[in-house]
Structure 1
Amino acid sequence: MATSTGQRGLRLDDQLCFALYAATNSVVRAYRPLLGEVGLTYPQYLVMLALWQDGVTAVHDLAARLQLTSSAITPLVDRLEAAGFVTRARASDRRVVLVALTEAGRLLEERVATAQQAVVCRTGLGDRDLADLRQELRDLADRVAATGTARGDATG
């Protein structure tokens, strides 16, 4: 078996992208069974988090908040509506669709908070370390996005 590191010395274990990918997968896998108990998928959970925090929100604003396209949000909202957690209504501007929590959706927040705390405990990180890690990741995302925008592309 060859152990060459290639011309550029690219190694999987040295890649930031892989470390982020592996960490994300681990966290999502930790959430999956806990959210499944309350009838949510992880992407649906993200939509619900935004609604619990922000209240009634237009689909396009929800998409921007979650850094997704409106077409990616729509099927999530469809399933949340079918489950009875949200409702949709047209705003006075008929092009705008507003998403609002139902009573069942509001009550779900307390049950989901238990799942969230269980995942936080699994990280083994204290409050300060978690806050610092979140901020570092936000800063990283902002820097990468700003660099891609400044160059006109995201290819680096």
Structure 2
Amino acid sequence: MILRLSARRAFLGMLVASAVFASLAHGVTPDEVLRDPALEGRARAISQLLRCVVCQNQSIDDSNAPLARDLRVIVRERLVSGDTDKQAIDFIVGRYGNFVLLKPPMQLDTLALWIGPALFLLVAALGFVRYLRKRSVDQAAEGPAALTTIEQDRVSELFSRRS
């Protein structure tokens, strides 16, 4: 009973802590937020499409890196100046290339990004199949392992009992 109660308290404590710290993990600071909710919504949507070039695995919306903050500010400035979403994205892509997009387009220069993982898996699978075949051929060439004297005595004993 006591263990169950302390487990519940620990769970509730972790739940509260995760809720508190989750709000701190968000990259957008209050001074970046636009007054117009529609523009802010567009800015947030664009920020979720762009990769932080420092963190590389986060959007600029989620990243706390100074460069991500600068990119968020640039996106907001472009939207306030009247750019469409596409124009704001194209401006950032013009500076950093397609790498800054979390989902880069299928083009000749990004072909490696799209085909690379599948090619890697194919090569790994072929290597694994080759390893298994070589291992089975090696085992077949060796033949069955010779019995030790103890094993031979045990086999002889079993056969003699049977007769």
Superposition TM-score, scaled by structure 1 size = 0.24
Write 1 or 2 for the structure with the bigger share of helix.
Answer: 2
Which of the two has higher C-alpha Rg? 2
With normalisation by structure 2, the TM-score equals 0.24
Say which structure is richer in strand: 1
